[in-house]
Chain A
Amino acid sequence: DSGVTQTPKHLITATGQRVTLRCSPRSGDLSVYWYQQSLDQGLQFLIQYYNGEERAKGNILERFSAQQFPDLHSELNLSSLELGDSALYFCASSAPPGTADSPLHFGNGTRLTVT
């Protein structure tokens, strides 16, 4: 158990809809990262937050947005969903910056199916 909790585990929705994925980081971790993994594709970095502020953006679509709340949990919002958004979405967390050894620890993901 990595200590990172993601909910829901599975989500099935229709095209055009909006969903919210939730992530609770490990206790004490201030950074949260979101990744997308489509079927048979690699892990693509989407976005990073540190202590409530956005710190880095990757290949995140404009239809997607995220935030990190004061209690450090994070939500990834996906809107105007398309079939191609079907994927596994992983959240990871890590210790505060400046820590020399700070691996990312990943949750078990949310499997999103858009029909």
Chain B
Amino acid sequence: DAKTTQPTSMDCAEGRAANLPCNHSTISGNEYVYWYRQIHSQGPQYIIHGLKNNETNEMASLIITEDRKSSTLILPHATLRDTAVYYCIVRLRFYNNAGNMLTFGGGTRLMVKP
């Protein structure tokens, strides 16, 4: 799987949009971009994923650049409960004999402040 690069930490004011960037310059056409978050030792929580089009769900929006080399996760109105480590992961689109696990990097520690 392609590697990703994320800032180590970010701050965001409560009620404002949180924009979390991710670089994945070596991504291939057969790889999705997935976002997960982990709130203080809980299990990682799936947020959203996309291939090349922008995606939105009840939790967040995912903006993928046209060349697919980077993406941004947007939490439109951050709350204190959004404080967590956010992981951007590139994952093979199709299952193969090597499995289809997620490979986690260091993520971005987002601190939402009052």
A56 at the interface (CB under 8 A from B): yes
The contact string, 1 if C-beta is below 8 Å from chain A, for chain B 45-59, is: 110010000000000
Give the shortest distance, in Å, between B75 (CB) and chain A (any CB): 18
Within 8 A of A (CB), among B29-58: 34, 38, 41-46, 49
Majority secondary structure of chain B interface residues (helix, strand, loop or mixed): loop
Stretch in A41-49, A67-75, A78-86 with 4+ CB within 8 Å of B: A41-49
Residues of A within 8 A of B (CB): 2, 4, 31, 33, 35, 42-43, 45, 48, 55-56, 58, 88, 90, 92, 94, 97-98, 100-109, 111
Closest 8 CB pairs of A and B: A56-B99, A97-B95, A106-B43, A43-B104, A103-B46, A48-B99, A108-B43, A106-B44
Q: What are 10 A-B contacts defined by CB distance under 8 Å?
A: A31-B100, A42-B107, A43-B38, A48-B99, A48-B101, A56-B100, A92-B44, A97-B94, A98-B95, A103-B34
